[in-house]
Amino acid sequence: MSEAAQAPEGRMIEGRYRIVRQIAQGGMATVYEAHDERLERTVAVKVMHTQLAQGPHRDQFIERFKREARSAAQIANPHIVQVYDAGEFEGLAYLVMEYVHGVNLRQEMQRQGTFTVRETLRVVAETLDGLAAAHRVDVVHRDIKPENIMLNDRGHVQITDFGLAKATSQATLSSTGMLLGTAAYLPPETIERNEALPQGDLYAVGIMAWEMLAGTVPFISDNPVTLVFKHVHEDVPSLETVCPGIHPHVAQFIAHLTARAIDARPADATEALDELRRMSSTLPLDAWGYRLPTAGATGVNGAAPQTTPNGATEPPVTAPPAPPMPPAPRKTGSGAATSDIPPTTAMDQGATQVLDPMRDTAGTQVLPRTSAPGVAGADGDDFLADFAADGSPRTGGADAGPIPAHHAAPASDGRKATDGVTGGPAAKPRRTVNKAAVIAVVVTLVVALTAGGTGAWWYYLGPGSYWALPKPDDITCTQGKACTLDDAVWKRYESTLKVTGIPYKAVTDYSDTVAEGAIIAARVGGADATVDMHISKRHPSTLQVTVSKGVKTATIPADILDASSGNGKAPLDALKAAGFTNVKHDESKDEYSMTLPEGAALSISPDPGTTLKHNDEVTVTLSKGPMPVTMPDIVGRTKDDANGLLADLKLSANYSEEYSDTVDAGKVISASQKKGAQLHWGDTVDVVVSKGPEMVTIPDVRGQSYDDAAKALQALGLDVKKSAPLGDVTHTVRLQDPAPGQQVRIRDANGTKTVVTLTVV
């Protein structure tokens, strides 16, 4: 059932609020003029759309309605549209609000194009006064923009749509996983870190003031989504760059509000309002009347307007310089925001068109404008609306519609103007009027025929049913070819995805060709992701993004030259395990080593412990181990000769000495390795060196019995022979040969023992 069927004219809500007529329709709600039967007053009733009340996110939308009521109810200020009541009617959440006769600031901006300094500062002062009351009770509006600034029939500001407001103690936007607010007015901290602070409201006020004076917002982009990131990466240009002749103090004040850094802005609206009062007191009279010449709403210097995500028209502006800093602000109490601003009647005359002051032109259908008094109360929804991340509906929209006839310029010759056209040939103006009338009739008919079904079509089949994958700012697409996200800087593009609400999952990987932090590849449902690809909100697929960690690095193991370590025993395997893919090993340059085993690293370049790219060249020289050598013939050589031969072959010798009856003393008798044996550097050879024949001194055995004497000589290794020419009577040795004390060999060259002859009598 549509809202028209549920709340027709004359229908009573809660037995108290009688619906008079529909005023406007936004992406979240329809606003009606109603009569409060109990208090006998006209009110505005804002009723949630049926498709939202019956959708999967019903509880979230109802909570937003309740939050709007709670936030506004905490604030008592003439510059805040009051919320009187809230509840549910036949399953639809509703709000009852103050009925405001007037237009919103966007409508007035479209009519005037640019504003004088006096008009601008008065609107800013009254807006800051209302926000100061909110900030004092720790409420941040979070969606300040011209659509939410109502100008009542007395020309004064009333701020509306606290549906996005939150207490500063809860001032993050992670609860919905989505950025909230309107793109052209979002502060950098909201886009980058999801922070919602009082300074963010001031930033939006500053952008709004910039637009009033310059006729355009400071940042524009041909890619609506990436518009917001200009706020993160660029300073808001000084007004002096687009408004030549404006007083520097005015430009400095706006620059203070729009500083990129949070700490560089005033702390809250009270401090900003105090600064505005001080600045206003220094302005000369001629500064108040400054106004940038403009041809209506066509933009600065006549540039064609561009449509931003919130429906505003924006001509291009020049690149911004760094914003100048105003004098340090001081805190004072709040007061009448208009007390320090010279009076003006520019916006106090006429503008009483029916308009929903809380209506966001980016999230509403185009409705024909009437001439009856209007009321505040739409929801300010846009492409960054509260629940866009999870598939909530948003209606397509345009701007606030045609300029009413009473805003037309008066005829210069005193005659009655017709739709803003003064005198001249009758035929040409008549064609212009007829064409405008035809367009108005066509728009009215189209809206009337499609208003009931547009929301459902938009939500289930139209643009509200899918996300269009945005184009990164830092890639160039070739016409006629699929444009992928490859090589886009991920950090910036991730912020874009957060703003649009597209579900994504990012993983990292190394890449030899894609710079660190850039996208290697992106896929949706198995297919390469391309710019403007549609991703369904009803059956969402996750965008899978692979982000480059840059070229993979690796570190040469610090112990790779230690042959006793695990890495040192197999250096090539160790480098591969460390991640190196360009290891150079020339076997022809490997060398023998006395100390390192075969396969150990002799040298490595760069040095151990160095970290470098995995594909950088690493050069390794390996040991071939000890060199093989042949055992030389050293037997019979002198010890010195043998030692020289073994040393030349880097063989180690263990020497021992023995008596030899055949080898002269000092010469090698034998070696543990045979001549010609295959050895290696460092091998040990046992060498026996001759001490010559073994010698003995003949003892004096004369006078001893033959038996004793023979035993003594035999004990020395000698042989004994008895001689008894006169007979062996006494058995006593009388003579011996060789004589006592003589040195003799124990054996001769043939190994025969020396014989000692003993003569007995």
pLDDT tens sequence across 24-73: 776 667 888 999 999 999 999 888 776 565 555 566 666 666 766 676 67
b/e code 408-429 from CB counts within 10 Å (16+ = b): eeeeeeeeebeebbbeeeeeeb
> How high is the pLDDT of residue 685?
95
The residue extents of the domains of the chain are 103-352, 483-548, 553-622, 628-690, 695-760
Spatial contact of 75 and 33, defined as CB atoms under 8 Å apart = no
Q: Which residues are catalytic?
A: 143
CA nearest neighbour of 378 among 619, 150, 134? 150
Give dist(CA 490, CA 109) in Å, integer.
37
Give the number of other CB atoms < 10 A from CB of residue 528. Answer: 13
When pLDDT is averaged across residues 239-259 and rounded to a whole number, the result is 96
Class of domain 628-690 (CATH, top level)? alpha beta
User: Who wins on pLDDT, 380 or 668?
Assistant: 668
Question: What would be the CATH architecture of the domain defined by 103-352?
Answer: Orthogonal Bundle (1.10)
Instruction: Mean pLDDT check: name the lowest of 41-55, 77-91, 429-443, 444-458.
Output: 429-443
All residues at 6 or more sequence positions from 366 whose CB lies less than 8 Å from its CB, including other chains: 397, 398, 401, 443, 447
Give dist(CA 413, CA 433) in Å, integer.
19
User: In the structure encoding, which two tokens stand for residue 192, read together?
Assistant: 């980058």
Query: Do the bridges between strand 102-104 and strand 611-613 make them parallel or antiparallel, or are there none, so unpaired?
Result: unpaired
Give the domain 695-760 fold. Answer: Trypsin Inhibitor V; Chain A (3.30.10)
pLDDT at 374 over 80: no
CA dihedral 428, 434, 439, 445 (to 10 degrees): 180
Instruction: Mean pLDDT check: name the lowest of 226-235, 242-251, 515-524.
Output: 226-235
User: In the structure encoding, which two tokens stand for residue 568, read together?
Assistant: 């040192």
When pLDDT is averaged across residues 342-369 and rounded to a whole number, the result is 34
> How high is the pLDDT of residue 467?
84
When pLDDT is averaged across residues 336-350 and rounded to a whole number, the result is 39
Q: Which helix (H) or strand (E) holds 157?
A: strand 157-159
pLDDT at 226 over 60: yes
Give dist(CA 140, CA 143) in Å, integer.
9
User: In the structure encoding, which two tokens stand for residue 308, read together?
Assistant: 């931003």
Residue in this structure with the two tokens 């007004």, named with its chain if needed:
239
CATH 3.30.10.20 applies to domain 483-548: yes
Give the domain 553-622 fold. Answer: Trypsin Inhibitor V; Chain A (3.30.10)
Confidence of residue 14 (pLDDT cuts 50, 70, 90): confident
When pLDDT is averaged across residues 235-249 and rounded to a whole number, the result is 95
SS3 content of the chain, % helix, strand, coil (to 5): 30, 20, 50
* Dihedral (CA of 466, 471, 472, 477) sign: positive
b/e code 471-488 from CB counts within 10 Å (16+ = b): bbbebeeeeeeebbbbbb
CA nearest neighbour of 104 among 24, 48, 179, 36? 24
* Sequence letter at residue 24: A
CA nearest neighbour of 318 among 333, 301, 336, 337? 301
- The tens digit of pLDDT for each residue in 102-154 reads 888 999 999 999 999 999 999 999 999 999 998 988 888 888 999 889 998 88
Helix pair angle (198-214, 117-136), 10° resolution: 170
Residue in this structure with the two tokens 């459902």, named with its chain if needed:
456
User: Strand, helix or coil at 692?
Assistant: coil
User: Who wins on pLDDT, 29 or 280?
Assistant: 280
Q: What is the 3-state secondary structure (H, E, C) of 562-601?
A: CCCCHHHHCHHHHHHHHCCCCEEECHHHCECCCCCCCCCE
> How high is the pLDDT of residue 750?
87
**C-alpha gyration radius of the chain:** 52
Give dist(CA 110, CA 230) in Å, integer.
24
Spatial contact of 208 and 258, defined as CB atoms under 8 Å apart = no
Per cent of the chain over pLDDT 90 is 49
Most confident of 282-296, 321-335, 613-627: 613-627
* Dihedral (CA of 308, 314, 320, 325) sign: negative
CA nearest neighbour of 244 among 345, 114, 344, 341? 114
User: Who wins on pLDDT, 229 or 527?
Assistant: 527
> How high is the pLDDT of residue 325?
33
> How high is the pLDDT of residue 482?
87
All residues at 6 or more sequence positions from 387 whose CB lies less than 8 Å from its CB, including other chains: 57, 60, 61, 176, 178
Cα angle, residue 64 at apex, residues 62 and 69 outer, rounded to 5°: 100
- The tens digit of pLDDT for each residue in 723-748 reads 988 888 888 999 999 999 999 999 98
| Same-fold call for 553-622 versus 695-760 | yes
DSSP secondary structure code for residue 665 in this structure: T
Give dist(CA 164, CA 147) in Å, integer.
14
Confidence of residue 95 (pLDDT cuts 50, 70, 90): confident
